[in-house]
Structure 1
Amino acid sequence: MEAQDTEELARFRQKWKEELKHTKEKHSETIKPGDALNDQPSSSSAEVRDAVVQPVPVQRHTPLEQYTLAVQYEQQGLLDEALTLYRQSFRRDPNVDKAYHREEQKKAIAAHTFVQPKHPPAESSSSRPAPIQTDAHILDLKHLTITDDTRRPLHAVLANFPHDLVFLPEDDNKYSPFRLLPEEIVIHILIELARINDTTTIERFASVSRKGRMLSLDGAIWRDLARRIYIPPQIPESLTVDDLVSAYKEDYRRIYIEQPRLRLDGVYIAVCHYVRNGLSENHWVSVTHLVTYHRYLRFLPTGEVLSLLANEDANPQHIIPLLKPELRMKGFMIGRWCLDGTTVYITELLDPGSQPAKYSFQMTLNLKSRPLGRWNKLDLAAYDSVDVATGEASSFTLKHERPYWFSKVRSYRW
């Protein structure tokens, strides 16, 4: 009995070992193909793995670019794509539509102010550019003609404005009270600003909207201002304001901007410097001093001009309120002025405190505008002393002189 149990146990063990061996062989056969793939990876599998691992670059767009692309899609009839881009652009920038319209206006203005040449020059076969013939270009410029369109680019832009212009609020959710005002009331307000010579506020109002620009060009706003300014000594005695009106084709705003004029609502100031050698107890030490002084010119509508030479001890903030005909201090003189084109003549500069004077002074200056319409710069061309008895003039050197720049003063009224 025991021998039979032992034989059965031996057969069971032998059968179990064979099954276990058979299972290991199958397991090894299933692993080998995987190991072979891992040991020798194919090029196609590597490409697939790289394609999966490496992310596709996403092109980023600004809200304005998305809105522009949405407009293009809408024009092409791709409404779904356009709606998606509209939502994305407004989500990133709620005012993207206003930015888009501003860009379109800039492009429209640039298209009217710049004209492509009809016959562009052919490219040279040589890589080195040909030398510029300066004399030939100068001769060509002599025959250059300027038409009304090139003189007045603003009118070309205004011609494309719609006729039904209205004041629109910057925020569409708010209401603009200017829409309730008739145009006559707005123009009357601008006329009152011109009467107090506040042209800066008029131009700021004009830059707000196209409706404001159209109203600011009304001739009634600039007519009274131009007729008050352009009288002698602002223009020669032989010239009248009607002559200017005819020359500028009754455009009073152009007269105010382009016709030279001396500013009477402020003072022209020149800041000058020179270096002076100093004294030192030590011979190996060199002492130099930078000396600063100011020249002031205030032009009055009566034809008088106030001239003051002050050193750096006198602060301009303290001098400007005192610059009146009643002022009496060293370096102060009163004279007469007149304007001929862009040349300013100052004569009979005398010290009001010394009577009688042996010498008077005279200046010749060139009036310039930086930028256009400001007339805010005076270049000193000549400075002479005149013997009152003989009338003989002697010129001063202008080595250290600098140009005068205009500074507006609120308390100066004319």
Structure 2
Amino acid sequence: MMPYELGRAACVCRKWRYTVRNPVFWRNACLKAWQTAGVIENYRILQSKYDGSWRKMWLLRSRVRTDGLYVSRNTYIRAGIAEWKITNPVHIVCYYRYIRFYPSGRFLYKNSSQKLKDVAKYMNFKASKADSLYRGTYTLSMTDDKIEAAVLYPGTRPTVLRIRLRLRGTTIGANNRMDLLSLVTSGVNDEEVSSTEDDILGVVENWRDDETHNPDIPAVSHKRGMTPFVFVPFEEVDQSVLNLPPEKMDYFVTG
């Protein structure tokens, strides 16, 4: 059972509450969630910061959620065409940024106008190129809860998207919000792409925000579409309010 399923089971009765206290459940979950740190480092952190309790470590240590999608819903107003008696029409345009993290340090990114319930069906590494999913790598800092991530847009003029996020939660252990701190696109040269295509973050992690390695593609720091990310578990994607069209929900308060 997943940790969040264990939490729901603990609410059923006293026997379930005692059962889910078994450290085996939480140890397996912790070692999987922080697998990039290694077993030895996880055991060291367990003893030094969490009094040897795997459950306490799961609740208090920052981690990205892998049992669903992080969604950033963005809207803006666009002027329309004057028609009949409507002389000054405007439209509310809605689009989303989707991120799915994996414990291995990889993630999937998609920028689309498609609804959450439709994107969730193919947001995995088996998706086809027509689905326009981009793969990247990320790291999570344990000191300030910041996430550094990078995605490579391939093609004749390869471009890297550098994403900086801050992880937070609406309650202890939730880790269900991410503030978008910066979004920068830069050019990379062919040698960098061919040598480190599977770890593009390793190439750009020390770059300045205005740095680019292709003079034809300047570095651009984007200021629009910076709405915080909200986490939606897979079992809730069909019922999420984020599926509502702009005419029913023109703005979403992330909290």
TM-score scaled to structure 2, two decimals?
Answer: 0.71
Structure 2 match to 1:230: 34
Name the one with the larger strand percent. Answer: 2
Task: Give 1:219 deviation, angstroms.
Answer: 2.0
Which of 108, 125, 129 pairs up with 1:328?
129
Task: Give 1:284 deviation, angstroms.
Answer: 7.4
1:2-31 CA distance string (max 9 Å, x none):
xxxxxxxxxxxxxxxxxxxxxxxxxxxxxx
Structure 2 match to 1:405: 230
Structure 2 match to 1:105: none
Which of 161, 178, 181 pairs up with 1:381?
181
Distance 1:203 1:283, change over 3 A: closer
Cα separation, 2, equivalents of 1:212 and 1:315: 37
Distance 1:298 1:284, change over 3 A: closer
Task: Give 1:401 deviation, angstroms.
Answer: 2.5
Cα separation, 1, equivalents of 2:32 and 2:69: 19
TM-score scaled to structure 1, two decimals?
Answer: 0.45
Percent identity of equivalent pairs: 22
2:39 counterpart of 1:219: no
2:148 counterpart of 1:345: yes
Structure 1 match to 2:45: 244
- List runs of 5+ in structure 1 lacking aligned partners: 1-192
Name the one with the larger helix percent. Answer: 1
Distance 1:284 1:264, change over 3 A: closer
Structure 2 match to 1:293: 95
Q: How many residue pairs were aligned?
A: 204
- List runs of 5+ in structure 2 lacking aligned partners: 190-211, 236-255
Task: Give 1:303 deviation, angstroms.
Answer: 2.2
Q: Which aligned pairs between 1:105-144 and structure 2 lie closer than 5 A?
A: none
Distance 1:244 1:227, change over 3 A: same
1:369-402 CA distance string (max 9 Å, x none):
122212111111100011213436431113x431
Partners of 1:231 and 1:240 within 8 A in 2: no
Partners of 2:80 and 2:89 within 8 A in 1: yes
Q: Secondary structure at the match of 1:256?
A: helix
Structure 1 match to 2:220: 394
Partners of 1:271 and 1:293 within 8 A in 2: yes
Distance 1:329 1:226, change over 3 A: same
Cα separation, 2, equivalents of 1:211 and 1:320: 35
Task: Give 1:302 deviation, angstroms.
Answer: 3.1
Which of 239, 252, 266 pairs up with 2:68?
266
Partners of 2:35 and 2:104 within 8 A in 1: no
Letter in 1 for 2:221: S
Distance 1:359 1:212, change over 3 A: closer
Cα separation, 1, equivalents of 2:4 and 2:219: 42
Cα separation, 1, equivalents of 2:21 and 2:156: 52
Cα separation, 2, equivalents of 1:283 and 1:318: 36
Cα separation, 1, equivalents of 2:102 and 2:19: 32
Q: Secondary structure at the match of 1:397?
A: coil
Partners of 2:157 and 2:187 within 8 A in 1: no
Cα separation, 1, equivalents of 2:228 and 2:106: 21
Letter in 1 for 2:115: N
Letter in 2 for 1:253: R
Cα separation, 1, equivalents of 2:84 and 2:15: 73
Structure 2 match to 1:368: 168
2:5 counterpart of 1:201: yes
Flag the structure with larger Rg.
1
Q: Secondary structure at the match of 2:129?
A: coil
Q: CA RMSD in A?
A: 2.4
Structure 2 match to 1:319: 119
Which of 106, 111, 135 pairs up with 1:304?
106
